[in-house]
C-alpha cells in the first residue's frame, strides 16, 4: 500500500481481556517496528522485525506482550490480560532496510483499558 496501515485506530477494552493490534507495512519494506507512546510520554521501543531474522524483542515490557510478522509483511501485536497501564498509542513503522533508510509511521492504535 501507499502507507503504513494500522487497525483498529481506536480500541477500548476491559481490563483482563486480550487485544490484537495489526500493522500492514509498506510493500517491500523489510524492517518493521512497534513503538508505544503513553499519554504525555515519549516513544518507547517494543519490538523490531528485520526480514527473516529473529525479532529483537528486548523492548517488550512483559510476557503479556507478543508480536508476530507473517510472511514478512503484516504484523500483529498481541497483549494478553490487558492492564490499565497498557493504555497508550501503539505505533508501527516500516523501513526499506535496517537503519539506513527513512521510516514511515502508521497513524497508530489508541488503546484504552478500562
In the complex, the residues that contact other proteins under the rule CB under 8 A are 33, 35, 37, 42-43, 45, 48, 56, 59, 89, 91, 93, 98-105, 107-108, 110
Please tell me the distance from the alpha carbon of residue 88 to that of residue 97, in angstroms, as a whole number. 27
Q: Tally Cβ neighbours within 10 Å of residue 93.
A: 21
Question: Considering the complex, what minimum distance in angstroms separates the CB of residue 108 from other proteins?
Answer: 5
Taking the least distance from each CB to other proteins, the nearer of 8 and 16 is 8
Question: Considering the complex, what minimum distance in angstroms separates the CB of residue 10 from other proteins?
Answer: 11
Q: What are phi and psi of 54, to 5 degrees?
A: -60, 135
Please tell me the distance from the alpha carbon of residue 4 to that of residue 105, in angstroms, as a whole number. 6
Taking the least distance from each CB to other proteins, the nearer of 37 and 66 is 37
Question: Considering the complex, what minimum distance in angstroms separates the CB of residue 56 from other proteins?
Answer: 6
Q: β-strands 19-24, 10-13: how paired?
A: unpaired
Amino acid at each position: 500500500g501507499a502507507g503504513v496501515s494500522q487497525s483498529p485506530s481506536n480500541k477500548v477494552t476491559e481490563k483482563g481481556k486480550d487485544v490484537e493490534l495489526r500493522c500492514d507495512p509498506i510493500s517491500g519494506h523489510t524492517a518493521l517496528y512497534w513503538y508505544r507512546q503513553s499519554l504525555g510520554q515519549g516513544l518507547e521501543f517494543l519490538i523490531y522485525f528485520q526480514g527473516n531474522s529473529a525479532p529483537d524483542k528486548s523492548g517488550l515490557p512483559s510476557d503479556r506482550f507478543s508480536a508476530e510478522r507473517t510472511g514478512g509483511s503484516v504484523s500483529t501485536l498481541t497483549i494478553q490480560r490487558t492492564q490499565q497501564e497498557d493504555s497508550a498509542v501503539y505505533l508501527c513503522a516500516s523501513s526499506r532496510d535496517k537503519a539506513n533508510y527513512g521510516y514511515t509511521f502508521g497513524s497508530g492504535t489508541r488503546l484504552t483499558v478500562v
